[in-house]
């Protein structure tokens, strides 16, 4: 699911008729000061990251003057919130909050619903998970029938919204459902949905996630990669996605797992299938190593696709080893992997003598694959170990071999 930032999501809310605070997104403290000066009133400076709980983490600060806004932005822009580096802040007019509500639309796949559900609560501002169940009101959305305003009124009034606020609140809820549909959302959450002291209903936050399969209908959203991403995709990720997007033969997905390019202990990680990927990452972490990236080549990709993925993995500057984590007896024809890896390692190993490579490859055409690997890699200046089905259930063994080779390699390099 592709996520949008708060400032992006709010623009779509605005387009659907929901009020938002005046403001602008910036990436430097100086610009934050300029926006605050332009707004000419107290502001709130908000970290733009794909994570909730920014308030508690110190990523949201009130500022009465442009100087304070600059200071707050300076502080927030250096922060990391739940592992996400803050690269942008939203500077918005500060709202005079009378009460915070919660509103969210999420698909409910359970057999009793099988439709999007609108959730509403008078207890906004905190995580919906910590709101008592009897304070959360729900209504199932029927796309054919639409979401008539009397349903919205009903929901708001049963949740306890006072009479004078009912109309504004119901209007915001029905606009929210429109935005959910129009943007092909998988989630749309406004928490808090603010009622100001002046009685206006304003979206105080916005979490919007868009269905990956529908992202092509929204070029305006500029979603580089229609997948769940922890941070804005890097150049590496965009190149990796290009492999998947331009070749539909099997899957070949590769993305970064860390932004840290200076620490040791990172392994170029290449799994065959999602389950194998989890086993492989666990095996690495049990021996104190980390996956620099995630990669999966499964569904019987052709050799050229596997080659492109593995080549991309090797482009990472800080890796101390390469692991092919084929923790499965795969029914894809493994010789495509074998051919691809021979070519990649013949390209790469002469550039880095002694580099540790543990290759676990089992399944259909296993014997042939092992032969291709052994013959093709013979005499290369790496620390190459090749394993097959006898080790497919033995992730500790594979992890231990990986770390042993990495230690030898470090010693040899004198690091």
Per CB under 6 A, residues contacting ligand GDP are 44, 46, 52-55, 60, 94-95, 97, 100, 125, 191-192, 204-205
Of 204 and 226, the one with the shorter C-beta distance to ligand GDP is 204
Query: Nearest-CB residue to Mn ion?
Result: 205
- Name the residue nearer to Mn ion (CB basis): 12 or 266: 12
Nearer to ligand GDP, 94 or 311 (CB): 94
What is the nearest approach in angstroms of Mn ion to the Cβ of residue 52?
Answer: 6
Measure the CA–CA gap between 71 and 200, rounded to whole angstroms: 30
**Residue 85 beta carbon to Mn ion: minimum distance, rounded to whole angstroms:** 20
In terms of Cβ atoms closer than 10 Å to its own Cβ (0-12, 13-18, 19+), residue 90 is buried
* Residue closer to Mn ion (CB basis): 54 or 218: 54
Closest CA to 337 of 272, 414, 404, 291: 272
Q: Do residues 57 and 83 make contact, with C-beta atoms less than 8 angstroms apart? A: no
Closer to ligand GDP by Cβ: residue 54 or 336? 54
Nearest Cα to Cα of residue 187 among 168, 164, 170, 212: 212
DSSP labels, 346-377: HHHGGGSTT-EEEEE--BTTHHHHHHHHHHHH
Binding footprint of Mn ion on the chain (CB under 5 A): 191, 205
Total residue length of the chain? 415
Alpha helices in 160-200 (DSSP H): 163-182
Question: What six digits make up the tokens of 347?
Answer: 């390209």
Phi first, then psi: what are they for 196, rounded to 5°?
-85, 170
**Residue 125 interacts with which of Mn ion, ligand GDP, none, CB < 5 to 8 Å by class:** ligand GDP
281 touches which of Mn ion, ligand GDP, none (CB within 5 to 8 A by kind)?
none
Q: Which does 329 bind (CB under 5 to 8 A by kind): Mn ion, ligand GDP, none?
A: none
Rounded distance between C-alpha atoms, residue 273 and residue 251, angstroms: 9
Give the shortest CB-122-to-Mn ion separation in angstroms: 16
* CA separation for the pair 397, 340 (Å, rounded): 25
Q: Where are the alpha helices (DSSP H) in 183-221?
A: none
Q: Is 222 left (phi over 0), alpha (psi -120 to 50) or beta?
A: left
Work out what residue 100 binds among ligand GDP, Mn ion, none; the CB cut-off runs from 5 to 8 Å by kind: ligand GDP
CB of 413 to ligand GDP, least distance (A): 43
Tell me how far, at minimum, the Cβ of 109 lies from ligand GDP, in Å. 25
Identify whether the C-beta of residue 161 lies closer than 8 Å to the C-beta of residue 100: no
Q: How far is the CB of 364 from ligand GDP (least distance, A)?
A: 48
Q: Based on CB atoms, which residue is closest to ligand GDP, 228 or 261?
A: 228
Minimum separation from the CB atom of position 375 to ligand GDP (A): 56
CB of 52 to ligand GDP, least distance (A): 5
Q: 193 or 291: whose CB is closer to ligand GDP?
A: 193
State the Cα torsion 87-91-94-95 to the nearest 10°.
Answer: -80
Residue 388: contacted member of Mn ion, ligand GDP, none (CB under 5 to 8 Å, by partner type): none
The whole-angstrom separation of Cα 227 and Cα 126 is: 27
Question: Beta partners for 26?
Answer: 89
Q: Which does 161 bind (CB under 5 to 8 A by kind): ligand GDP, Mn ion, none?
A: none
**Of 207 and 305, CB closest to ligand GDP:** 207
């Amino acid at each position: 699911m592709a996520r949008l930032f708060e400032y992006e999501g709010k623009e779509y809310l605005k387009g659907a008729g929901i009020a938002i605070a005046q403001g602008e997104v910036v990436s430097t403290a100086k610009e934050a000061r300029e926006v605050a000066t332009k707004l000419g009133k107290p502001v709130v400076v908000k970290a733009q990251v794909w994570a909730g709980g920014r308030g508690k983490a110190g990523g949201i600060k009130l500022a009465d003057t442009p100087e304070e806004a600059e200071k707050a932005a300076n502080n927030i822009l250096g922060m990391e919130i739940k592992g996400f580096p803050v690269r942008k802040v939203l500077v918005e007019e500060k709202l005079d909050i009378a009460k915070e509500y919660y509103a969210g639309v999420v698909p409910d796949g359970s057999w009793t619903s099988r439709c999007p559900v609108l959730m509403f609560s008078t207890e906004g501002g905190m995580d919906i998970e910590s709101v008592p169940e009897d304070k959360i009101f729900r209504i199932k959305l029927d796309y054919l029938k639409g979401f008539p305003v009397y349903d919205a009124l009903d929901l708001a009034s049963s949740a306890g919204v006072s009479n004078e606020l009912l109309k504004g609140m119901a209007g915001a809820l029905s606009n929210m459902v429109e935005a959910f549909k129009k943007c092909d959302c998988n989630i749309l959450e406004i928490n808090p949905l603010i009622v100001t002291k002046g009685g206006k209903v304003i979206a105080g936050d916005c979490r919007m996630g868009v269905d990956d399969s529908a992202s092509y209908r929204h070029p305006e959203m500029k979603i580089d990669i229609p997948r769940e991403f922890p941070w804005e995709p890097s150049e590496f990720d965009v190149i990796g996605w290009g492999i998947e997007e331009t070749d539909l033969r099997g899957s070949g997905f590769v993305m970064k797992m860390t932004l840290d390019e200076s620490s040791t202990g990172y392994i170029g990680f290449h799994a065959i299938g999602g389950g194998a990927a989890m086993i492989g990452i666990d095996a690495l972490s049990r021996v104190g190593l980390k996956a620099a990236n995630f990669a999966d080549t499964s569904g019987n990709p052709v050799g050229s696709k596997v080659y492109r993925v593995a080549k991309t993995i090797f482009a990472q500057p800080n890796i101390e080893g390469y692991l092919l984590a084929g923790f499965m007896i795969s029914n894809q024809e493994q010789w495509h992997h074998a051919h691809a890896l021979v070519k990649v390692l013949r390209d790469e190993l002469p550039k880095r003598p002694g580099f540790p490579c543990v290759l676990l490859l089992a399944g259909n055409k296993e014997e042939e694959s092992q032969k291709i690997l052994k013959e093709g890699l013979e005499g290369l200046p790496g620390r190459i170990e090749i394993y097959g089905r006898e080790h497919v259930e033995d992730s500790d063994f594979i992890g231990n071999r990986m770390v042993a080779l990495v230690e030898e390699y470090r010693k040899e390099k004198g690091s």
